[in-house]
């Protein structure tokens, strides 16, 4: 379906590109339905411990080539468990990017450690490994690195850099299950890694997470922290049951998402307001939880990002702003390395397309592309008229 870019914007009273709104998530999955029915039938859904959690841990260990997997209640809590597993404690410093998920900053604070902020790569969304040496101090104990918005970190170089400095690495793979870096799964590189099974994630159980590591000592410390007479931060058997069939579909779905992203970006090469990252599509096996752009009005005083997002949402497209980042946090709460200009720019300009539409087929992807072109052109014309 071709939508003419000159058509009236929905936010101005025109017809939306998607009158029924964006597709929902999670999608209808016969495998999940069957897993729920089976768990209800045998009663395993309500057990403290059972076959589904054990099977999920084995599958995740195999996928990431890591012998130790600790299931937990969320990816956010998983980051804290990972830090505790590494022995990070009060008074230590933990390096992380100034543009990242807010829960990672709070996880550092929750154990009494001090966040140390470094910038992200120019034009991208992930931590710039070249900043690590400048951030290192005698109190540095660990680093959190996140794969964000389809962009994958060069983990081999980062791990070598950190280990030379004596820094342990928490690899946040919450956005990229199934992504591959140099033949190894994202989440299989760090000293400890974290996954999320939150309600919006590519693998979803509504809530949940996992901590993965090759080090038994890290696994034991993380596990012991959660033992309060029983497991205080568990993933339920029913959650594990619905994740297992999703793992079976992860690789083909990620392949379809990559095809959709490539198709979409190809349609926007002349839409100069939307700037993709040059490295987003460079890995052969990326994983897309969000599709990112920087919003850059073609006219210097053109429409702000919020205007663009409101217009796109009126067209029925699930798109929103990126992370707010930490560059504005008080010096009492963190130490900052450099001006963090790339992180500030990303926080101000990033727009993110939510992933469910990527599984809907070429026609739906083309309609998203048409909506993006329509809104960019419409706002551009409005700005020119108002000059």
Between CA 171 and CA 189 the distance in angstroms is 7
Between CA 107 and CA 124 the distance in angstroms is 24
Between CA 142 and CA 96 the distance in angstroms is 9
116 neighbors 337 (Cβ within 8 angstroms): yes
Residues contacting residue 293 through CB under 8 Å, at least 6 positions apart: 274, 275, 276, 350, 351
Helix axis angle, 362-385 relative to 237-266, nearest 10°? Answer: 60
State the residue for tokens 């497991």: 231
Between CA 146 and CA 174 the distance in angstroms is 8
Between CA 284 and CA 90 the distance in angstroms is 40
Query: Cα 222–246–107 angle (5° rounding)?
Result: 30
State the residue for tokens 């087929």: 361
Between CA 284 and CA 155 the distance in angstroms is 15
Per-residue pLDDT tens digits of the chain, which is 387 residues long: 444 444 899 999 999 999 999 999 999 999 999 999 999 999 999 999 999 999 999 999 999 999 999 999 999 999 999 999 999 999 999 999 999 999 999 999 999 999 999 999 999 999 999 999 999 999 999 999 999 999 999 999 999 999 999 999 999 999 999 999 999 999 999 999 999 999 999 999 999 999 999 999 999 999 999 999 999 999 999 999 999 999 999 999 999 999 999 999 999 999 999 998 766 655 568 999 999 999 998 767 789 999 999 999 999 999 999 999 999 999 999 999 999 999 999 999 999 999 999 999 999 999 999 999 999 999 988 876 666
How many Cα atoms occupy the beta-carbon half-sphere of 295 within 13 Å? 27
Query: Cα 363–365–366 angle (5° rounding)?
Result: 65
What is the Cα gyration radius of the chain?
Answer: 22
pTM of the model as a whole: 0.95
Between CA 131 and CA 133 the distance in angstroms is 6
Between CA 159 and CA 189 the distance in angstroms is 8
Enumerate domains of the chain plus CATH numbers. Answer: 30-246 (3.40.640.10), 250-385 (3.90.1150.10)
CB-count exposure of residue 344 (10 Å: 0-12, 13-18, 19+):
middle
| Beta-strand pair 93-97/180-181 | unpaired
Strand-by-strand arrangement of the 350-354 sheet: 274-275, 290-295, 350-354, 319-321
Between CA 235 and CA 69 the distance in angstroms is 12
């Amino acid at each position: 379906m071709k939508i003419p870019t000159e058509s009236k914007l929905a936010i101005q009273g025109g017809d939306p590109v998607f009158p029924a709104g964006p597709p929902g998530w999670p999608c209808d999955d016969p495998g999940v339905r069957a897993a729920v029915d089976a768990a209800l039938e045998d009663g395993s859904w309500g057990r403290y411990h059972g076959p589904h959690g054990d099977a999920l841990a084995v599958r995740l260990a195999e996928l990431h080539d890591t012998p130790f997997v600790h299931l937990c209640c969320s990816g956010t809590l998983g980051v804290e468990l990972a830090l505790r597993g590494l022995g990070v404690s009060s008074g230590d410093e933990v390096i992380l990017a100034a543009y990242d998920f807010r829960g990672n900053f709070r996880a550092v604070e929750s154990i009494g450690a001090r966040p140390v902020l470094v910038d992200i790569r120019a034009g991208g969304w992930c931590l710039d490994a070249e900043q690590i040496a400048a951030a290192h101090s005698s109190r540095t104990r660990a680093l959190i690195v996140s794969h964000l918005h389809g962009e994958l970190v060069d983990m081999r170089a980062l791990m070598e850099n950190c280990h030379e400095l004596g820094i342990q690495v928490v690899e946040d793979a919450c956005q990229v299950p199934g992504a591959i870096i140099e033949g190894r799964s994202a989440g299989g590189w760090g000293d400890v890694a974290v996954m999320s099974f939150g309600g919006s994630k590519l693998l979803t159980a509504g809530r949940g997470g996992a901590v993965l590591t090759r080090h038994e000592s890290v696994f034991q410390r993380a596990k012991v922290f959660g033992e309060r007479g029983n497991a205080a931060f568990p993933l339920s058997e029913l959650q594990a049951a619905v994740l297992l069939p999703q793992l079976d579909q992860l690789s083909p779905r990620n392949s379809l998402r990559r095809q959709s992203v490539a198709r979409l970006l190809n349609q926007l090469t002349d839409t100069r307001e939307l700037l993709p990252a040059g490295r987003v599509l460079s890995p052969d096996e990326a994983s897309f939880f969000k599709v990112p752009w920087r919003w850059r009005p073609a006219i210097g005083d053109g429409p702000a990002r919020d205007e663009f997002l409101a217009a796109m949402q009126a067209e029925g497209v699930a798109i929103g702003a990126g992370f707010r980042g930490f560059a504005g946090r008080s010096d009492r709460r963190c130490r900052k390395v450099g001006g963090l200009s790339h992180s500030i720019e990303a926080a101000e300009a990033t727009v993110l397309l939510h992933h469910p539409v990527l599984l809907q087929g070429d026609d739906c992807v083309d309609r998203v592309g048409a909506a993006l072109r329509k809104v960019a052109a419409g706002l551009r014309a409005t700005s020119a008229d108002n000059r």
